[in-house]
């Protein structure tokens, strides 16, 4: 989940990361009022979850409340990389002496969090790495020992700082690591961290939280669903609320598989035999009978779907659990639409027996099942 800049800064503020005065606005009038409250020149920043806002004209200065009104009026409603700007952040303009980059990322190769820092802030870290790799400081964080003060001091010294500013920068680094660790973040970034005569201030903020950890951050779950409004169909929004990985398509054959690769192959096989998938639904690994039943029921309730094809390779997801879920969904909905099942793997014979006893036959190959699904959707 990618938090918008103002949302990330709300989190940073809780952890004591130094920030400038700012306010969020959804109208030009609110932006003008925010500028008056701040009482000094400001920067108006589009709040969308993509990079390159400045190059697209989504970040602009304003010297007075009247200018802030006009700038906000121009930015609100504009499109940046196919996203519409609904909010702007009005933030005090900082007296910049130097810019620094700080980030904490998940280094999957090293299997740990890694601190990235550079004396060249305000630009993409990838560009710095390509042009001047020696200017990037890396520090892998031991998952057991964590990120101690002497580690942070070492990173600050390698950036060329000493004395009071070294201690200030090290303190911000430790706070940034706490944000990453406690928020289950995949990316935590300040770019740039602005150096002023009085110290450091985070002029920007990025925070990407691992979707799999949202159950530990209830305050973010509602925002996660809201972030897809306007981008997803009503059924896709409903599926996300049910924790189903679902994409709505324009065909009339419902597709349920376990694993993205198998589900995609199922769509391709249906198309090979002249059919058109009405959806993509991936059960994932280790799906319970309840989750499988919920998925089957959800797809069968789609008025466009004329037949359902369930394709499962039993491993962590067992074939008998798949059968139980299908049978339970059929009991709830009745025998209103045909279901084609192909399953193989763990507890395959037991799963097939359960389906046979419930009057649902299975096919041995994906090709046979796909052909049958296409024929049933056509009413053949």
Residue 363 near residue 341, CB atoms below 8 Å:
yes
- Neighbouring-strand partners of residue 200: 195
Question: How many angstroms separate the CA atoms of 289 and 295, rounded?
Answer: 10
Which of 120, 186, 189, 348 is flagged as catalytic? 189
Annotated active-site residue 101? The verdict is yes
Q: How many CB atoms lie within 10 A of CB 47?
A: 21
Distance CA 57, CA 71 (A): 10
Quote the CA–CA distance of 264 and 151 in Å, as a whole number.
46
Q: Cβ distance 21 to 91 under 8 Å?
A: yes
- For CA atoms 199, 203, 204, 205, the dihedral sign is positive
Q: Are 304 and 337 in contact (CB under 8 A)?
A: no
Token pair listed for 276: 């058109």
User: How far is Cα 259 from Cα 263, in angstroms, rounded to an integer?
Assistant: 6
Instruction: Check residue 141 and report its DSSP letter.
Output: P
Q: How far apart are CA 357 and CA 126, in angstroms?
A: 59
Is 189 tagged catalytic? yes
Quick check: bond before 90 cis, omega within 30?
Answer: no
How far, in Å, CA of 101 to CA of 200, rounded? 12
Active-site option among 101, 113, 161, 177: 101
CA–CA gap between residue 156 and residue 167 (Å, rounded): 8
Contact 81, 231 (CB under 8 A): no
Dihedral-angle region of residue 379 (phi above 0 means left; psi in -120 to 50 means alpha; beta otherwise): left
Annotated catalytic residues are 101, 189
């Amino acid at each position: 989940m990618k938090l918008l800049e103002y949302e990330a800064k709300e989190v940073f503020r809780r952890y004591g990361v130094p920030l400038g005065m700012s306010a969020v606005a959804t109208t030009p009038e609110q932006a003008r009022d925010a500028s008056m409250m701040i009482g000094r020149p400001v920067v108006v920043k589009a709040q969308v979850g993509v990079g390159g806002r400045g190059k697209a004209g989504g970040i602009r200065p304003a010297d007075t409340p009247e200018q802030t009104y006009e700038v906000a009026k121009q930015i609100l409603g504009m499109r940046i990389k196919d996203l519409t700007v609904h909010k702007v952040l009005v933030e005090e303009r900082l007296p910049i002496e130097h810019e620094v980059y700080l980030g904490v990322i998940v280094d999957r190769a090293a299997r740990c969090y890694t601190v990235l820092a550079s004396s060249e802030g305000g630009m993409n870290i990838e560009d710095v790495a390509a042009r001047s790799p020696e200017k990037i400081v890396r520090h892998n964080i031991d998952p057991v020992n964590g990120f101690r003060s002497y580690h942070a001091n070492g990173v600050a010294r390698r950036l060329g700082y000493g004395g009071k500013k070294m201690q200030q920068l090290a303190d911000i680094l430790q706070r940034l690591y706490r944000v990453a660790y406690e928020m289950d973040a995949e990316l935590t970034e300040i770019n740039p961290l602005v150096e002023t005569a009085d110290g450091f201030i985070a002029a920007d903020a990025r925070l990407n939280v691992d979707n799999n950890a949202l159950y530990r951050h209830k305050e973010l779950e509602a925002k996660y669903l809201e972030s897809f409004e306007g981008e997803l169909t009503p059924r896709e929004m409903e599926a996300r609320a049910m924790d189903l990985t679902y994409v709505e398509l324009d065909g009339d054959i419902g597709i349920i598989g376990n694993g993205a690769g198998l589900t995609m192959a199922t769509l391709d096989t249906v198309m090979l035999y002249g059919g058109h998938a009405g959806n993509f639904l991936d059960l994932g690994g280790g799906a319970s009978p309840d989750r499988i039943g919920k998925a089957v029921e959800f797809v069968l309730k789609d008025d466009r779907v004329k037949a359902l094809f369930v394709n499962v390779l039993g491993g962590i997801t067992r074939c008998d659990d798949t059968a139980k879920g299908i049978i339970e969904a059929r009991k709830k909905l009745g025998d209103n639409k045909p279901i084609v099942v192909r399953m193989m793997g763990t507890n395959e014979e037991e799963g097939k027996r359960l389906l046979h006893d419930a009057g649902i036959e299975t096919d041995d190959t994906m090709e046979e099942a796909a052909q049958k699904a296409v024929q049933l959707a056509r009413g053949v």
